[in-house]
Amino acid sequence: MSPVLIRLLLLSIRGRLVRWLRMLRRPKYLIGFAIGLAYVGFWARSVLSGGKLGNSFFSGRSGRVEGDLAAMVPLFLAFALLVFVSVVWLLPWGRLGVPFREAELMLLLPAPLTRRQILQFGLLKGQAAIVTSSLIISLFAGTGRLPEQARLVVSLWLALTLLDLNKKGRALFLLRQREISRRAALARRLAVVLGIAAFWSLLAVSFYRPAAPTLDAMWQQRADVWDLIVTVVGHAETGMSGALLTPFVWITGLPFASSWREFAIGLPPVAAMVVLGHEAVVRSKASFEEAALQHAGEIAQRKSPSRRFRRLSARLRQENPFRLGPTGRPELAVLWKNLHLSSRRSLGRIFGWTVAGLTGVAVVPAAVNAPALVLGLAALTGGVVAVVLPLILTLSQQNDFRSDLRHLDLVRTWPVVPHRLATAEILAPALVATAAGCLGAGLFLAAMVGAWLRFAFHGDTVTHVFLPPLDATIMGLPIIAGTALIAVGLLPALASGMALLAALRNLAVLAFPAWIGSLPESGRGIQALGQRMLLGTVMILGLTLGLLPGALLVGSAILVQGYFSIPWSAWAFPLWGGLAAAPLVVEVALLARLAGRLWAGMDPSHEILDLGR
Amino acid sequence: MIEVEGLVKVYDTLRAVDGLSLRVEGGKILGLVGPNGAGKTTTLRCLTGIIPPTEGRVTIEGFDLAKQPVEAKRRLAFVPDEPRLFDYLTAADHLAMTARLYGVEAGRERSEALLEEFGLADRSRSFPSELSRGMKQKLMVAMALLHRPAALILDEPLTGLDPAAMRRMKDRIRTTAAEGAAVIISSHMLHLVEEICGAIVILVRGRKELEGSLAEIREALPDLAGDADLEEIFIRATEDGKLR
């Protein structure tokens, strides 16, 4: 391989390392790195010192897999490998050629390099992932003793390299199939299929002929399953079938070598296979260049966030969440924009369709006298959606500062008062999450109404574990009215709670922009792990503290009611909801002010715009 | 009017902009040129409030960008070198949003007129990923012009445009200035700067190396030929120590 390409690879690794070290000069990265390193170090130590993960899979007779079974594992794995390789070569479709990034192709293809060298570079690129995987697997499955660990890493590296070569060899074979004449391609495909079929036939015959009498006899005598397995394995290991399986056993057996001697005997054939596989790949006649360019383009398109918008219909492109007039509060434009990221559909239309859908859930099962299970499942789904979806949406959606930081050249020039801009950024995820909560609660209520309607239409009482009994009451109100009142009462608390979560999230984004995964470079490495752990802890703490005043207010109201012996009524729920929401609204307003200050004073030069590095 | 006094921007140990002062009156066009890494984009980002300056003061129509940012930004428009539009908004949505942000009366009509002017009328419902680089650039300029800014700042405005679109864009920039806007253009296209800018600032390593109209700059450099063009001046100015 060209020394220039090796140098290129080393330089890119060094570049990444230097960039990473420079990043650590800033305290917030250093703190994240220290926390991440402490966590990884603790985990690795527990593994290496023979903790619960350290009980080796590959440690042979002294580990979890003992005795006969341990001796059989390489053969089982070899058989699985054979099945895998046969199946992938039989399938006529799959990735074509060797994957390269567009930038690499633009650099390598015009350079004075042979195709063999470029292919070698393509193979070498994959080695980083292979070496890392070998290390991680060995950490999980090794014994923790250094010499055995080292043998295991080398064995796994060879096995994974062979799998990689097989994958790339097949991809180049498939590519070549497209380039040659139809007749030649058919002949090659036929040769592969016949070759695999012949191999399997030979394997089956060579195994079955000597083994059949013994196995028949054992079957007649209803022998123990374990004895049957031992006999099958014994026959598979010997004679022609053993010889046919040998190359595969060489690969799968090497990680199980229990001594350096055993390892030294097993190593040469596997290493020879790697060399042969490598030669087969780099000598391929397939013109991988064009396929690689196409593949790079496809990858870039697949990664593009705009992919899903391009598929929208002409009608939907004309729709907007709500009508935005040219004058009025400018921050409403930011909310309007951010809602597009969730859906372009008009909020009125979404509301209409939701109401129609929920009415359907209530009426249709009752009209057709559907089984109770249908309504029970609807109630369960509604409950889960109401509780889980708002949280997931608030944390996972990027319709706030998280996505706007990528558009600083635009957003920073907008004439919007900073805290109002922050409020608009917080409102979009909070609104979507609250809507999801309402949808869940609505579904739950619709299922209950459905149960009531079924009783009204057919006189059947619906009983299901996920549906509250219809004759029950909540503080004097019938169950459906009581549940509806609870839902309505909780709505302000849900909305303000989601706004608090969104506010905390946005505050974190503004305080530590580079810690947020949506920006390039963030979200990877040990420091990102530590940053996430730290941010997660702070968020949970902030949320708990934020919810505390509301909880105290509701608790006080309940105590006062109890102290003055005011009768309990379901009508108290809206009051409690309001009491829980009031401090949250104040907190969100304060956090929005703080976020506004951070936004106004933020210098995005280093962390976002990557300037002056 | 755009006024800059003693602008400094420091990144760690690098002084990207070093004590820059300039003034662009309404109706005038200033060209900001300089070699790569001279601090042009950093200067423009400081002038538009994207990044805060380390030192110095920027005023737009008399409003201090640091103290009255909303008032200053209301009168300002910026076209960055890279058109980073929102993936999830169509061209028409971008203009509707901009109209609301700047409170443009009759925003819809003006948006339609600008889309028509920039040849984007039939692409109004297209997402940025469906537009070419040049179309995105035109959309960015349309967004910038929507609220009739008093100060227009453009970073490489002709990148990605075809020759006809370049000519239209140059005419549009001239018209905007003629309507009273103060315009700053940063570009490596020296012929553009020479053609439409009344005044030129040459930045080298964050410092103002030369300033004035082309004729004034020629006069300041007597050893240059009387008909020296901006390219020649630029090369002289950016070669180490030639001017000092």
> What is the distance between the alpha carbons of residues A585 and A494, in angstroms, rounded to a whole number?
11
Q: Looking at the DSSP assignment, which residues form a beta bridge with residue B10? A: B15
Query: For residue A397, is pLDDT > 90?
Result: no
Q: Tell me the shortest Cα–Cα distance from A421 to chain B, in angstroms.
A: 11
Cα torsion at A266, A272, A278, A279 (round to 10°)?
-170
Q: What is the mean pLDDT of chain A?
A: 85
> What is the distance between the alpha carbons of residues A213 and B226, in angstroms, rounded to a whole number?
107
Q: Which two tokens stand for residue A184?
A: 């030649």
Instruction: Give yes or no: residues B70 and B156 share one domain.
Output: yes
Q: Is residue B68 part of a domain?
A: yes
Domain housing B7: 2-75+149-238
Phi, psi (degrees; rounded to nearest 5) at A327? -120, 160
Which one of B128, B148, B168 terminates a domain?
Answer: B148
- Cβ <8 Å between B73 and A413: yes
- Cβ <8 Å between A326 and B105: yes
- Residues of A in Cβ contact (< 8 Å) with B9: 605
Best mean pLDDT range from A43-52, A162-171, A533-542: A162-171
> What is the distance between the alpha carbons of residues A607 and A605, in angstroms, rounded to a whole number?
6
DSSP letters for A574-595: HHHHHHHHHHHHHHHHHHHHHH
What is the tens place of the pLDDT at every residue in A581-604?
Answer: 999 999 999 999 999 999 999 988
- Cβ <8 Å between B84 and A310: no
Any chain B CB within 8 A of the CB of A191? no
Which one of B148, B177, B197 terminates a domain?
Answer: B148
> What is the distance between the alpha carbons of residues B4 and B182, in angstroms, rounded to a whole number?
13
Q: Tell me the shortest Cα–Cα distance from B94 to chain A, in angstroms.
A: 9
DSSP letters for A90-157: H---S--S----HHHHHHHTTSS--HHHHHHHHHHHTHHHHHHHHHHHHHHHS-S-HHHHHHHHHHHH
Residue among A318, A326, A332 whose CB faces B125 most closely: A318
The interface residues of chain B toward chain A in range 145-164, judged by CB-CB distance below 8 A, are none
Instruction: Give yes or no: residues B44 and B54 share one domain.
Output: yes
Q: Is-contact A189 A177, C-beta < 8 A?
A: yes
Which one of B102, B128, B148 terminates a domain?
Answer: B148
Q: Is-contact A506 A12, C-beta < 8 A?
A: no
Q: Is-contact B39 B17, C-beta < 8 A?
A: yes
In which residue are the tokens 């102290």 written?
Answer: A563
Counted domains in chain B:
2
A492: amino acid identity, one letter: P
Alpha-carbon distances of B125 from A264, A483, B119, B121, rounded to whole Å: 67, 44, 13, 9
Instruction: Give yes or no: residues B143 and B34 share one domain.
Output: no
In this structure, what DSSP letter does residue A343 have? Answer: -
In this structure, what DSSP letter does residue A26 have? Answer: S
Query: For residue B221, is pLDDT > 80?
Result: no
3-class state of residue B152 by DSSP = strand
A294: amino acid identity, one letter: Q
Give the pLDDT confidence score for residue A55 in this predicted structure: 46
Domain extents for chain A? 59-298, 333-601
Any chain A CB within 8 A of the CB of B76? yes
Lowest mean pLDDT among A291-300, A505-514, A535-544, B99-108: A291-300
CA quadruple A373, A374, A378, A379: dihedral sign: negative
Instruction: Give yes or no: residues B158 and B220 share one domain.
Output: yes
Give the pLDDT confidence score for residue A414 in this predicted structure: 96
What is the tens place of the pLDDT at every residue in A33-51?
Answer: 788 788 777 777 766 665 4
Q: Is residue B80 part of a domain?
A: no
Instruction: Give yes or no: residues B139 and B229 share one domain.
Output: no
What confidence category does residue B59 fall into, taking pLDDT thresholds of 50, 70 and 90? very high
Cα(first)–Cα(last) distance of chain A, in Å?
A: 33
CA quadruple A235, A236, A242, A246: dihedral sign: negative
Give the pLDDT confidence score for residue A64 in this predicted structure: 45
> What is the distance between the alpha carbons of residues A464 and A570, in angstroms, rounded to a whole number?
24
Q: Looking at the DSSP assignment, which residues form a beta bridge with residue B15? A: B10
What is the tens place of the pLDDT at every residue in A83-99?
Answer: 999 999 998 887 777 77
> What is the distance between the alpha carbons of residues A561 and B230, in angstroms, rounded to a whole number?
83
Query: For residue A612, is pLDDT > 50?
Result: yes
Any chain B CB within 8 A of the CB of A345? no
Any chain B CB within 8 A of the CB of A346? no
Query: For residue A357, is pLDDT > 70?
Result: yes
Phi, psi (degrees; rounded to nearest 5) at A215? -65, -40
Q: CB atoms < 10 A from the CB of A239, how many?
A: 14
Query: For residue A272, is pLDDT > 50?
Result: yes
For residue B73, what is the nearest residue in chain A, using CA coordinates?
A415
A268: amino acid identity, one letter: P
What confidence category does residue A209 fall into, taking pLDDT thresholds of 50, 70 and 90? confident
Give the pLDDT confidence score for residue A588 in this predicted structure: 97
Alpha-carbon distances of A12 from A18, A329, A523, rounded to whole Å: 10, 49, 19
Cα–chain center distance at A267 = 36
Which residue intervals of A283-371 are DSSP H helices?
288-303, 307-310, 314-317, 331-342, 347-367
The interface residues of chain A toward chain B in range 407-426, judged by CB-CB distance below 8 A, are 407-410, 412-417
Instruction: Give yes or no: residues B133 and B208 share one domain.
Output: no
pTM: 0.75
Q: Is residue B243 part of a domain?
A: no
Phi, psi (degrees; rounded to nearest 5) at B15? -90, 95
Percentage, residues of chain B above pLDDT 90: 70
What is the tens place of the pLDDT at every residue in A457-467?
Answer: 887 777 777 78
Residues A307-328, mean pLDDT to the nearest whole number: 87
Instruction: Give yes or no: residues B95 and B69 share one domain.
Output: no
Which residues fall within 8 angstroms of residue A297, CB to CB, at 6 or more apart?
A102
Q: Is residue B182 part of a domain?
A: yes
Give the pLDDT confidence score for residue A135 in this predicted structure: 85
What confidence category does residue A63 fall into, taking pLDDT thresholds of 50, 70 and 90? very low
Any chain B CB within 8 A of the CB of A601? yes
- What is the pairing mode between strands B55-60 and B2-11? antiparallel
Q: Is residue B244 part of a domain?
A: no
The interface residues of chain B toward chain A in range 117-136, judged by CB-CB distance below 8 A, are 125, 127-130
Give the pLDDT confidence score for residue A112 in this predicted structure: 80
Q: Is residue B93 part of a domain?
A: yes
Instruction: Give yes or no: residues B39 and B63 share one domain.
Output: yes
Instruction: Give yes or no: residues B112 and B190 share one domain.
Output: no
Phi, psi (degrees; rounded to nearest 5) at B10? -115, 130
What is the tens place of the pLDDT at every residue in A422-472?
Answer: 999 999 999 999 999 999 999 999 999 998 998 888 877 777 777 888 888
Residues A556-576, mean pLDDT to the nearest whole number: 89
A384: amino acid identity, one letter: V
Higher-confidence residue of A517 and B107: namely: B107
> What is the distance between the alpha carbons of residues A168 and A95, in angstroms, rounded to a whole number?
9
Q: Tell me the shortest Cα–Cα distance from B10 to chain A, in angstroms.
A: 8
> What is the distance between the alpha carbons of residues A576 and A561, in angstroms, rounded to a whole number?
12
Which residue intervals of A417-478 are DSSP H helices?
418-458
Query: For residue B226, is pLDDT > 70?
Result: no
DSSP letters for B144-187: HHTT--SEEEEESTTTT--HHHHHHHHHHHHHHHHTT-EEEEE-
Instruction: Give yes or no: residues B159 and B232 share one domain.
Output: yes
Domain CATH number, residue B214: 3.40.50.300
Query: For residue A473, is pLDDT > 80?
Result: yes
Residues A481-507, mean pLDDT to the nearest whole number: 92
DSSP letters for A70-104: HHHHHHHHHHHHHHHHHHHHH---S--S----HHH
Phi, psi (degrees; rounded to nearest 5) at B159? -60, 130
Preferred mutation among A605, A608, A611 to probe B, highest tally of B CBs within 10 A: A605
Instruction: Give yes or no: residues B95 and B61 share one domain.
Output: no
Phi, psi (degrees; rounded to nearest 5) at A235? -70, -40
Instruction: Give yes or no: residues B143 and B154 share one domain.
Output: no
Lowest mean pLDDT among A154-163, A354-363, A459-468, B235-244: B235-244
Q: Tell me the shortest Cα–Cα distance from A411 to chain B, in angstroms.
A: 8
The three-point CA angle A109-A114-A116 to 5° equals 105
Buried b (16+ CB within 10 A) or exposed e, A533-543: ebbeeebeebe
Q: Looking at the DSSP assignment, which residues form a beta bridge with residue B76? A: B151
Higher-confidence residue of A333 and B190: namely: A333
- Cβ <8 Å between A337 and B108: no
Percentage, residues of chain A above pLDDT 70: 90
> What is the distance between the alpha carbons of residues B83 and B78, in angstroms, rounded to a whole number?
11
Q: In what order do the strands lie in the sheet with B207-212?
A: B76-79, B151-155, B182-186, B29-33, B199-204, B207-212
> What is the distance between the alpha carbons of residues A181 and A558, in angstroms, rounded to a whole number?
83
Lowest mean pLDDT among A241-250, A505-514, B179-188: A505-514
The total number of residues shown for chain A amounts to: 613
> What is the distance between the alpha carbons of residues A342 and A347, in angstroms, rounded to a whole number?
11
